[in-house]
Amino acid sequence: MPSYKLIYFDGRGFAEPARMLFHLAEVPFEDVRIPFEELMPGKQSEGFLEMKDKTPFGKFPVLSIDGFDIPQSSAIIRYLAKKFGYAGKTPEEQAWADAIVDQFKDYMESFRQFIYAQRGGKPEEEVKKIHNEVFGPVKETFLRELERILKKNRSGYLVGAGLTWADLVIADHLHTLENLKELEVKSLEEYKERIYSLPELRDYIQGRPQREM
Amino acid sequence: MPSYKLIYFDGRGFAEPARMLFHLAEVPFEDVRIPFEELMPGKQSEGFLEMKDKTPFGKFPVLSIDGFDIPQSSAIIRYLAKKFGYAGKTPEEQAWADAIVDQFKDYMESFRQFIYAQRGGKPEEEVKKIHNEVFGPVKETFLRELERILKKNRSGYLVGAGLTWADLVIADHLHTLENLKELEVKSLEEYKERIYSLPELRDYIQGRPQREM
């Protein structure tokens, strides 16, 4: 079996669905968690800067497979999902999972804008404006799309009849929204809870480091 | 053979690599091109609004396969690339092509910001500021990454020994930068020209509707 190393910051963020996939597939991996302090300019250690410099795009997460590095979270998670059987059962299901994750990536542009404003020390009024005029409307649209997809698909999963990586990406972000008190859609709370309660995920989720996002 | 319909605006943009793939594979498809005027609020036709309403995410491009709709350009192009043999030869090549396209998608955030400012009637000074402080630095980094990837890979392609969908996505955007006089990297101009001159693409590219972007 190849030796896997997943390198990311010490949060859930863009890497958590990859961690979940390793646990789902019961495949051992090295879970390298970089302290968030390394993100602060001027506070970065030499070891971190050296590691960052060696990544393909100077960004994390990176998945290292026997020394071969894959950057970009979606590429990493899709790769593992294919290996472990969670990418979708047909080419059409795979494309649909891809599309949902790309739509999520588009939505994340406004989520990031809000979080950066909130955590970056912008004046409260500006944060509120970004929340109400940028993030809020984009979030509402995206959550409505998720609701519609789930309602139409009926299996309780986003794609086809079973769990795909799209469920892991979405459910884990819904948990983040929940933590931020930004998820007020009952059917999506239930969906997230259903994914989080899957017997093959439950223990991992209960035992993992608890992080706000 | 399934019946394919690709719906997008009358530009290259996010759909052109899909069009190229159909031509590479010599697979017939319906190339539905919506006039750009339909993007202007208040000027939209009923037919357009109805069609938009039926798309999975209210956005184009959409690929319709015997009535099954895939949204999101990367999902569409990856789907066709897999069908037609241009997704990469191994799981690792596929992941690397995915990662390059996702990195491109990140870069496009700043490209879009610049184009919207420029075409959206913002004051010249503001456009210049966005160009020099936002788009410019992100573009430089991204182009340097592409150069490094090509230099390291040596085959003349971004991934492995042959053409993948990542080359189509990147080369077609480099052509856009060229049209905007924003591509001043000789090795990338040569790379784009090499992809555009491939015998299996040349005729299509010469005969296609000429669009700035």
Residue in B closest to A73 by C-alpha: B99
A110 three-state secondary structure: helix
Superfamily of domain B4-84 in CATH is: Glutaredoxin (3.40.30.10)
Question: Which value does ipTM take for this structure?
Answer: 0.96
Q: Do B76 and A95 touch (CB under 8 A)?
A: yes
What pLDDT score does A41 carry? 83
Q: Are the Cβ atoms of A82 and B91 closer than 8 angstroms? A: yes
Structural contact between residues B64 and B5, judged by C-beta atoms closer than 8 angstroms:
yes
The predicted pLDDT at position A96 comes to 98
Encoded tokens for A26: 């019961």
Which whole-number Å values give the CA distances from B59 to A97, A112, A197, B38, B65, in the listed order?
17, 21, 33, 12, 17
Structure tokens of A195?
């994914």
Q: What is the DSSP string of A120-167?
A: TT--HHHHHHIIIIIIHHHHHHHHHHHHHHHHHH-SSSSSTTS--HHH
Looking at residue B12, its pLDDT comes to 98
Task: Report the percent of chain A where pLDDT is more than 70.
Answer: 100
Q: What is the mean pLDDT of residues B54-69?
A: 96
Which one of A74, A77, A111, A169 makes the best mutation probe of the B interface by having the most chain B beta carbons within 10 Å? A74
Every domain of chain B and the residues it spans = 4-84, 91-198
**A91-198 has the same fold as A4-85:** no
Q: Is the pLDDT of residue B106 over 90?
A: yes
What is the distance in angstroms between the Cα of A47 and the nearest Cα belonging to chain B?
22
For the A4-85 domain, the top CATH level (class) is: alpha beta
According to DSSP, the β-strands at A4-9 and A62-65 are antiparallel
pLDDT digits (tens, 9 = 90+) for B128-165: 999 999 999 999 999 999 999 999 999 999 999 999 99
HEC string of A34-92? ECHHHHCCCCCCHHHHHHHHHCCCCCCCEEEECCEEEECHHHHHHHHHHHHCCCCCCHH
If one looks up domain B91-198 in CATH, what number appears? 1.20.1050.10
Q: CA–CA separation, A34 vs A11, rounded Å?
A: 9
In terms of Cα–Cα distance, which of B69, B72, B78, B142 is closest to B110?
A: B142
Question: By the 8 A CB rule, do A93 and A164 touch?
Answer: yes
Share of chain B above pLDDT 70, in %: 100
> Of the candidates B57, B73, B96, which has its C-beta nearest A70's C-beta?
B96
Query: What is the predicted pLDDT for the residue at A144?
Result: 97
Asked whether the beta carbons of residue B75 and residue A98 sit closer than 8 angstroms, the reply is: yes
Asked whether residue B196 carries a pLDDT value surpassing 90, the answer given is yes
Q: Find the CB nearest B72 among A73, A102, A109.
A: A102
- Residue B14: what pLDDT? 97
pLDDT over 90 (residue B171) = yes
CB contact under 8 A, A65 and B92: yes
pLDDT in tens, A135-183: 999 999 999 999 999 999 999 999 999 999 999 999 999 999 999 999 9
pLDDT at B209 over 90: yes
- Which residue on chain B is closest to A77 by alpha carbon? B95
Q: What percent of chain B has pLDDT over 90?
A: 95
pLDDT tens string B1-53: 899 999 999 999 999 999 999 999 999 999 999 999 998 888 899 999 999 99
CB burial class (10 A; 0-12, 13-18, 19+) of residue A3? exposed
Q: Which residues of B touch A (CB under 8 A)?
A: 56-57, 65, 68, 70-76, 78-79, 82-83, 91-92, 94-96, 98-99, 102-103, 105, 109, 145
Chain A residues touching B102 at Cβ < 8 A: 72-75, 105
Query: Euclidean distance between the first and final Cα of chain B, in Å?
Result: 31
Chain A positions with Cβ closer than 8 Å to B: 56-57, 65, 68, 70-76, 78-79, 82-83, 91-92, 94-96, 98-99, 102-103, 105, 109, 145
Q: How far is B57 from chain A, CA to nearest CA, in Å?
A: 7
pLDDT tens series, chain A, 213 aa: 899 999 999 999 999 999 999 999 999 999 999 999 998 888 899 999 999 999 999 999 999 999 899 999 999 999 999 999 999 999 999 999 999 999 999 999 999 999 999 999 899 999 999 999 999 999 999 999 999 999 999 999 999 999 999 999 999 999 999 999 999 999 999 999 999 999 999 999 999 999 999
Q: pLDDT value at position A114?
A: 97
Task: Please state the rounded mean pLDDT for residues B66-95.
Answer: 97
pLDDT value of residue B23: 97
d(CA B153, CA B162): 11
